[in-house]
Structure 1
C-alpha cells in the first residue's frame, strides 16, 4: 500500500484540550483502519509541526478521506505527502531511462 506522511499542527482548540490528545490519536488510528489503511508510526515533534504520523492507505482517495475526517474534528491542521519507499524510489528512477 502507498505510504503517506502527515505533518500536523494543533489548532488553538487542540492545544487548549491537549490532555485529550491521546484519545484523539486513538481515534485517528481507527479512522485510518476505517478507510482500509494502517497507522504505522507517530511522533510528537517540536518546531513548525507538533505531530507527525505515517500511515499506509490503499490509495490517494482513502488517504484524503482519512485526513479530512481527522481534520474536521477541529483539533488539528494537517499537511499530507505521498511518500515513496526506497524500492519504489528506485523503480521511479529506473523508469527514467527508457
Structure 2
C-alpha cells in the first residue's frame, strides 16, 4: 500500500490548546479510519514542522480527504508527500529508459 508523509504545523488555535493533543490525536486516528487511511507513526519534531505523520492508504484521494478534514478542524495546517521505500524507488530507477 502506498506510503505518504504528512508534515503538520500547529495553527494559533492548535498550539493554544496543545494540552488537548492526546484527545485530538485519537480523534485523528478515528477520522483516518473513516476515510481509508492507516496512521503508522506520529512524531513530534523540531525544525520547520511541528509534527510528522506517516500513513498508508490505497491512493492519494484517501490521504487528501484526510488532510482536508483534519485541516478543516483548525488546529493544524498540512503538507503531504508520497513516499517510496528504497526497494520501490530502486525498481523505478531500473526501469528508466
TM-score category, normalised to shorter length = over 0.9
Structure 1, unpaired ranges of 5+:
none
Query: Which residue of structure 1 aligns with residue 84 of structure 2?
Result: 84
CA root-mean-square deviation:
0.9
1:95 aligns with 2:95: yes
- Give the total of aligned pairs: 97
Report the CA distance between 1:40 and its aligned residue.
Answer: 0.3
Structure 2 partner of 1:73: 73
Spell out, residue by residue over 1:41-95, the C-alpha distance to the aligned partner (whole angstroms, 9 max, x if none). Answer: 1101111111111000110111100110101000001111000111211121111
Verify the 8 A CA contact 1:32 1:57 in the aligned structure 2.
no
Superposition TM-score, scaled by structure 2 size? 0.94
Q: Which runs of 5+ in 2 are unaligned?
A: none
TM-score normalised to structure 1 length: 0.93
Contact 1:2 1:82 in 2 (8 A): yes
Does residue 40 in structure 1 map to residue 35 in structure 2? Answer: no
Q: Which runs of 4+ in 1 moved over 3 A?
A: none
